């Protein structure tokens, strides 16, 4: 019994500290995922969003742009009609990256809480069947993600860098990937 209590005392403060450290890592990841340069392409409905100082107010992508059958837009007006492989160099010109398209609806971040995004990113049924290691590598290596830090003239980039977010995801996973609770938000 004494030994059990001793083990409990030993383990509990450690796991509480790991939980706090993990939640701090998650907070920095959440600040990236919820940033308009990421979340505006991770919407649940059929429309990407425009938001940030560069766009005035947050609004639905104009020109009647839609998700279409596969995220690449309606056959009559695909994303690639306007979005090329690289950013337009003029202010308000279309940004670009290879394979420009909307994220699948289940990977929704736009207007979602920290707790909701955290639960989504850990759920293989909603994250494209990925382990957390694969999620981290996707953030480090994917071209659409990279665009979030090099979004072209006038647009505010996501905080930090792809490498820093990759490293934060690895540390968060190593600390047990804790998620915040929804505080009846
Ligand atoms: C008719 C042309 C056109 C089509 C088609 C189009 N876009 Fe755009 N898109 C633009 C332009 C122009 C901008 C930049 C406007 C600006 O900077 O003021 C833009 C900006 C964006 C942004 C940046 C938003 C931000 O907050 O920085 C995203 C994301 C986006 N489009 C997604 C898409 C997706 C996904 C599709 C296809 C489903 C698509 N667009 C189809 C013209 C288009
Ligand atoms: C132009 C649209 C677009 C932008 C901008 C974008 N994404 Fe995505 N994202 C996608 C698509 C599409 C997928 C689905 C995988 C694929 O087809 O490449 C995806 C999937 C992901 C995934 C896979 C797991 C999941 O559950 O979401 C992660 C992680 C991710 N994006 C991170 C980011 C981050 C971080 C940013 C901003 C720095 C960002 N994305 C910006 C379109 C975008």
Q: Which ligand is nearest the CA of 67, by number? A: 1
**10-residue averages of pLDDT along the chain (185 residues):** 59 79 98 98 98 93 97 96 97 97 98 98 98 98 98 97 98 97 67
Mutate to test the pocket of ligand 1, among 61, 74, 97, 108 (most ligand atoms within 8 A of CB): 61
pLDDT for position 182: 79
Instruction: Tell which atom from ligand 1 comes closest to the C-alpha of 102.
Output: 35
Strands 59-60 and 73-74: unpaired
Query: Is residue 51 in contact with ligand 1, taking CB distance under 6 Å?
Result: yes
Separation CA 24–CA 67 (nearest Å): 34
pLDDT for position 167: 98
Which phi and psi angles does 182 have, rounded to 5°? -75, 120
pLDDT for position 185: 43
* 175 alpha carbon – ligand 1 mean position (Å): 37
* 1 alpha carbon – ligand 2 mean position (Å): 50
Q: Return the beta strands (E) in the chain as ranges.
A: 49-50, 59-60, 73-74, 77-78
pLDDT for position 6: 57
Q: Which ligand is nearest the CA of 118, by number? A: 2
Which residue, judged by its Cα, is nearest atom 11 of ligand 2?
Answer: 103
């Amino acid at each position: 019994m004494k030994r059990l209590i001793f083990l409990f005392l030993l383990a509990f403060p450690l796991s509480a500290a790991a939980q706090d450290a993990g939640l701090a890592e998650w907070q920095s990841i959440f600040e990236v995922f919820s940033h308009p340069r990421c979340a505006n392409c991770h919407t649940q409905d059929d429309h990407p969003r425009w938001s940030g100082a560069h766009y005035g107010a947050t609004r639905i992508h104009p020109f009647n742009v839609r998700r279409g059958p596969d995220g690449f837009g309606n056959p009559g007006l695909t994303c690639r009609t306007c979005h090329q492989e690289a950013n337009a160099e003029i202010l308000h010109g279309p940004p670009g990256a290879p394979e420009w398209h909307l994220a699948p609806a289940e990977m929704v971040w736009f207007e979602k809480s920290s707790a909701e995004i955290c639960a989504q990113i850990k759920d293989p049924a909603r994250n494209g069947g990925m382990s957390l290691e694969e999620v981290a590598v996707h953030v480090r290596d994917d071209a659409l993600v990279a665009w979030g830090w090099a979004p072209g003239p006038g647009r505010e980039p996501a905080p930090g860098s792809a490498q820093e977010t990759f490293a934060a995801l690895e540390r968060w996973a190593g600390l047990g990937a804790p998620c915040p609770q929804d505080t009846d938000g």
